[in-house]
Structure 1
Amino acid sequence: MPTPNGHKVSILLELLGLEYEFQHLNFAKSEQKEPWFLELNPNGRIPTLVDSSTNTTLSETAAIMQYLVDTYDKENKFSYKVGTPLYYKQLEVLYFQMAGVGPMQGQMGHFKFFAPETIPYGIERYENETKRLYSVVEEYLKRNKENGPYLVGNHLCIADIAIFTWASKLHRAKIDINSWPLVAQWFENIASLPEVQLGLTKPMLST
């Protein structure tokens, strides 16, 4: 599905220049809960990666992204060498996205757009927490400012990609990314990459 989590993987696949196919799942028909998919991913969530070249099947985007760079990014163009301080900082920011930005922004989206009734407390709570978390992203960028607009080190890595896809949805919630100047600059830098633009078009909804 064309969600922040789906786009994390499609963008990374494009950046790595790997050939891949994707299969769209119809959430309205709960295809992600069908037995064949649950065999691949017991949590019934997207995305799930099946790599036939290594006989590896993975779910959870942090695990998928880490697997892809460990396996196919031997020159560390979009990652940092295992065991180095930057490798662990990359994990810190990646896990920050998985534990914070994604769940909180996702709950904000639920209460704003999908809840069967309007619950002001839920909307306010998760919107405020989402904004707080992007203030933390701003702080990561501030602390790494001398290296350019990256969250970790001196080049784009999987931690940037993971947060970027969620930041790309802020406008839908009418949250102005320019509230955080460094985040806005960082976002535009990543969004300008052709591979990222292409990755954001995959997967697309089936017609």
Structure 2
Amino acid sequence: MIDLYYWTTPNGHKITLFLEEAGLRYRLHPVDIGKGEQFAPTFLDIAPNNRIPAIVDNAPREEREPLALFESGAILEYLADKTGRYLPKSGRARYVTLQWLYWQMGGLGPMAGQNHHFGTHAEEKIPYAIERYVKETARLYGVLDRQLADSPFVAGDEYSIADMAIYPWIASHAKQRQNLDDFSHVKRWAASLAQRESVKRAYALVEEVNPAKGEERSEDAR
């Protein structure tokens, strides 16, 4: 059984995408970041960086003690190795998949996250910051679009943790002031992933866990 500490953000969705696709049993522990629950001492014992998602694997392979992990990329890689799915075990295909996972972690996620912050959440709208992050997000969409021009999935012919990591950020394209009509291969790929039953189940959790998502945040939450 996996304990998943989760909120309805792109990084949170990455892990539910994997768990639903793989059919792993898990318990969901909502961590309402709008209420500051990520700073609770019990959560910090699991995730010292006070960020979701985090997991506790209560039955790790070859170990008796539960294993706690934070950082969504590390969690995806761990779950892929645990199950033997969605990440090749060795060779070129493994490293191609990992490079796109790390591209999301080091590039798309941080830049799109700053895009969300300055364009949507910041009380003071700073034109330079908004323009900077909108343009950099567009550049990264272009990188992804070129990668998808000749393959159905990010790392090639098979659905992988690279797709799971990247898709939730692309699903938020409107918040990032990106038009998918400008990125035809990304648009095709995103539409195909949205039809996967596991993706539908993962995103259905939003209504269960955070039905107020999308509403204006309170001063305390801000």
Range of TM-score over shorter length: over 0.9
Cα shift at 1:139 = 1.4
| Residues 134 and 177 in structure 2, CA contact (< 8 A), matched pair in contact too | no
For CA contacts below 8 A with separation 6 or more, give which structure has more relative contact order.
1
Q: Distance in 2 between matches of 1:28 and 1:15?
A: 28
Give 1:128-147 correspondences, 5 Å limit: 128-142=135-149, 145=150
Q: CA separation of 1:163/1:197 partners in 2, compared to 1, >3 Å: closer, same or farther?
A: same
In structure 1, give the amino acid aligned to 2:73. Answer: A
Q: How does 1:88-167 map to 2 (within 5 A)?
A: 88-142=95-149, 145=150, 148-167=151-170
Q: CA deviation at 1:79?
A: 1.8
Q: Hey, which of these two has a bigger chunk of helix by percent?
A: 1
Deviations 1:6-58 (A, max 9, x none): 00000100000011111111223211011111111110000001111121110
Q: Is the 8 A contact 2:137 2:176 kept in 1?
A: no
Report deviation, 1:135: 0.3
Identity of aligned residues (%): 37
Q: 4+ residue runs of structure 1 moved beyond 2 angstroms?
A: 201-204
State the distance in 1 between where 2:96 and 2:205 align: 29
Aligned length: 199
Cα distance in 2 for partners of 1:178, 1:56 equals 43
So what's the TM-score if we normalise by structure 2? Answer: 0.86
Change (3 A) 1:42 1:163: same
Q: Is the 8 A contact 2:47 2:70 kept in 1?
A: yes
**Shift of the alpha carbon at 1:161?**
1.1
Q: What amino acid maps onto 1:107 in structure 2?
A: Q
Corresponding residue of 1:183:
186
Deviation, 1:206, is 6.6
Please tell me whether the aligned partners of residues 120 and 175 of structure 2 are also in contact (alpha carbons under 8 angstroms): no
Q: Higher strand proportion, which one? A: 2
**5+ residue gaps in structure 2?**
1-6, 61-65, 213-222
Secondary structure of 1:172's match? Answer: coil
For residues 65-104 of structure 1, the aligned pairs below 5 Å read 65-72=76-83, 74=84, 76=85, 78-81=86-89, 83-104=90-111
Deviation (angstroms), 1:202: 2.5
Listed one character per residue, the Cα deviations across residues 44-86 of structure 1 (whole Å, up to 9, x for unaligned) are 00000111112111010110000001001x2x3x2212x2101
Between stretches 192-201 and 97-106, larger displacement belongs to 192-201
Please tell me whether residue 58 in structure 1 is matched to residue 69 in structure 2: yes
Q: 1:175: Cα distance to partner? A: 1.7
- Counterpart contact for 2:112–2:176, Cα < 8 Å: no
Letter matched to residue 205 of structure 1 = N
What SS does the aligned partner of 2:175 have? helix
Question: In 1, Cα distance between the equivalents of 2:108 and 2:191?
Answer: 19
Q: Is 2:56–2:67's contact at 8 Å kept on the other side of the alignment?
A: yes
TM-score by length of 1: 0.92
